Amino acid sequence: MLAPAAFAQSALPNGASTLQETYQDWRVACNVTDKAPVCAISQDQTQQNGQRLLAVEVQMRADGSAIATLLLPFGIILDSGVTPNVDDQPPLKAVRFRTCLPTGCIALLPVDSATLAKLRAGSRLNLKVIADPGKELSFQVSLHGFSAALDRIAALNPR
């Protein structure tokens, strides 16, 4: 039989199997898998017609770093990748696209602790891509609520 304290450390509040909360522009979503919560924060941006323009999902890693999954629309030059930067700071290293799905193209952005601190302190994450024919596009992701959402998944994922 499981000890109540052990169960409490591996479950979501009130014994829930899923959890969804909103922190300004970020959404927290958790599911219980193998008796442990798996949580991520995300933000979707849609066009006026309801079609998704872009999505960002961030999951924390055990070492304090994170991985951000970026879903960007079609019509961009894949070879140039995505160049992120926070506010008006120098750009981070560009990341390549991994694959394209029917919903858009995916790039994985590793986020070390220094970059995480910049994201926590920033107001927007800019994602620069090259569109065909060579036109630069920049997508802006609001960072309002980012820190609170990250703090919430840290509290829900005891290490």
Assign residue 137 the CATH number of its domain.
2.60.40.1880
Q: In what order do the strands lie in the sheet with 124-131?
A: 83-86, 124-131, 135-142
Please provide the DSSP assignment of 17-64 as one string: SEEEEEETTEEEEEEEETTEEEEEEEEEEE-TTS-EEEEEEEEE-TTS
75-123 residue pLDDT tens: 899 999 999 999 999 999 999 999 999 999 999 999 999 999 999 999 9
29-65 residue pLDDT tens: 999 888 888 999 999 999 888 888 899 999 999 898 9
User: Does residue 2 register a pLDDT over 50?
Assistant: no
The pLDDT of residue 91 is 96
Residues 57, 69 contacting (CB under 8 angstroms)? yes
Domain residue limits at 140: 4-156
Q: What is the bridge-based pairing of β-strands 66-72 and 104-111?
A: antiparallel
The pLDDT of residue 8 is 39
Average model confidence (pLDDT) across the chain? 89
The pLDDT of residue 157 is 78
The pLDDT of residue 158 is 64
Count of domains for the chain:
1
94 DSSP assignment? P
pTM confidence score? 0.88
Burial class (CB in 10 A: 0-12, 13-18, 19+), 78: middle
